[in-house]
Structure 1
């Protein structure tokens, strides 16, 4: 029974990492475009790994290449595996090392908030100082490994989520968004999890996350999520729900738009990873991050059986990823910490 439980947990853990990476890779070529531009440029809806347009900031990237979403999440996962707990200094050093190895500054590989914070760290700013202006979704996009390790310890889950954000996205808004995502993933991993339990946990995470970081003015994310769910409930057709989400909530990299839209996509697609990723990829705006967040949550909920394995294999090959190996190490860490 114990071995069977481990097998199920491992499958859901791999599913979370698959959803993150595949959502990121599928959303990479459509990022920054409108829904109309995506449809016209790619000959309809994007349902597979594609090459960016020649005019795209990531022109020349191969199909299946991931962005900073997956890169930073994997870097944090390895830091956790090696050190068992994150500290602000460890996260700062990990992100700086990742940026150098990925040549992130030269390639325009990172968002303005992260780039500014990392440059501040290089100039000698403390992690708290560097991250006090970060109000976008950079913390939320990389937080999955924290949820995979600390899912059964709420206090540590929230504390480690805040620390994972601090050096680049250390505001109460950004941490609230990341906490909503980490709580949603943690809930999705639980036996018998449902879309309802996942969204309930996301609300609790959003509330708890506001207790951390530099204070900033923001709509309450749990109420913003309620609003998104109320809006999509007015429509019966999925296409109408997606359009309403795009028009009323938005797809920008701000937390109040992208994180809430990603959570609402979990509801719209009944927690199925491939539909959630495909809808996110074709919505426009910050497609890679919205697809990565929705994919990670849905992957944790449904496990590996819900994915196009051929596409996942291509993403792993292109980016030299080993999601199964990483999942095993993260799950073993959680077991070793007696969070089983």
Structure 2
């Protein structure tokens, strides 16, 4: 294996495992207010268990990943199995199988609203190409990292088109595609060796293109909100930044809140994946998804080897050998696309 391929796999692993760290750290604080988080835990800077009456995370062990990570790994496997043309039917069937599994585990409440609504519609006979027409929340962005690993950032149109294809069944709207495209482009720039500031620049360009795809829905422009969210927290202390993100940007499941919030977190953390996870966990709202996105992007820009290994060892619900194999397969596909010059969105 070449040195370049090894570095790319390390960055790909950084994206996937960084996302898992942010997901697991935010798992017990999701849906809670910043005041309630402080009351229960003080300042969250390590894995903690959710309270017994938590609305969605009750019963999970400290360090447990949620649907954010599970869906990202699932999407990654479908991308590898699909080859050059994304297998939409395989993806829908995989989502339906996964839904049955999480229901059996008693974790259905962890599903985001757009994904849950689309899966229910497909189960009721709605064609998959129509099921995602109303999906405008952050479920596509939370799981999109494998597309960023597999797709080179240039040509950008090919990357964004691949993002849109994976969004069709659950998040086929302009705002969700723009959000997912931003995250995928940031990850792709990181896997290519770029730093987090360069990744943010690529994200803004991708969001602008993604906003032209899918079914148009109303909402703040994702590209503009990413730039604005990073601007308002730049140079601020973490405590002050958390308040600005919570009060102004928003931390709900809406794409126009949580995705710009994740980029603001990336700014405050200075591209440090663990700090991105910690900041996200204390925001309140959709902490696990914001953490998964922010720490995943940061991890792509730093690499797995620079992640806190002592925390990785305590993750629950993730098979690191499978993650490493997936990262290698996605990077191999990326290298093949660059070598052949194929438009992988075809």
TM (norm. structure 1) is 0.93
2:49 pairs with 48, 51, 55, which one? 51
What is the CA distance between 1:66 and its match in structure 2? 1.1
- Alignment coverage as a number of residue pairs: 335
The Cα offsets for residues 176-210 of structure 1, whole Å up to 9 and x where unpaired, read as 1101111111112222x223211111111111111
Residue of structure 2 equivalent to 1:256: 256
What is the CA distance between 1:40 and its match in structure 2? 1.3
The Cα offsets for residues 45-72 of structure 1, whole Å up to 9 and x where unpaired, read as 1112211100102211112211111111
> 1:313 and 1:328 mapped to 2: Cα distance?
20
Instruction: Decide which moves more: 211-220 or 295-304.
Output: 211-220
Q: Is the 8 A contact 2:237 2:268 kept in 1?
A: no
Residue of structure 2 equivalent to 1:113: 114
Show structure 2 runs of 5+ residues with no match: 341-346
> 2:238 and 2:27 mapped to 1: Cα distance?
23
> 1:47 and 1:139 mapped to 2: Cα distance?
27
> 2:313 and 2:152 mapped to 1: Cα distance?
27
Show structure 1 runs of 5+ residues with no match: none
After TM superposition, the runs of 4+ consecutive aligned structure 1 residues lying more than 4 A away are: none
Instruction: Decide which moves more: 169-178 or 85-94.
Output: 85-94
Residue of structure 1 equivalent to 2:59: 60
> 1:48 and 1:314 mapped to 2: Cα distance?
10
Q: Is the 8 A contact 2:25 2:63 kept in 1?
A: yes
Map of 1:64-103 to 2, 5 A cutoff? 64-84=63-83, 85-103=85-103
> 2:233 and 2:139 mapped to 1: Cα distance?
26
Residue of structure 1 equivalent to 2:2: 3
Residue of structure 2 equivalent to 1:155: 157
Residue of structure 1 equivalent to 2:11: 12
Q: Is the 8 A contact 1:19 1:298 kept in 2?
A: yes
Secondary structure of the corresponding residue to residue 47 of structure 1: coil
The Cα offsets for residues 294-339 of structure 1, whole Å up to 9 and x where unpaired, read as 0110000011233221221221x53334322221121122223345
Q: Is the 8 A contact 1:105 1:115 kept in 2?
A: no
Residue of structure 1 equivalent to 2:176: 174
Residue of structure 2 equivalent to 1:221: 222
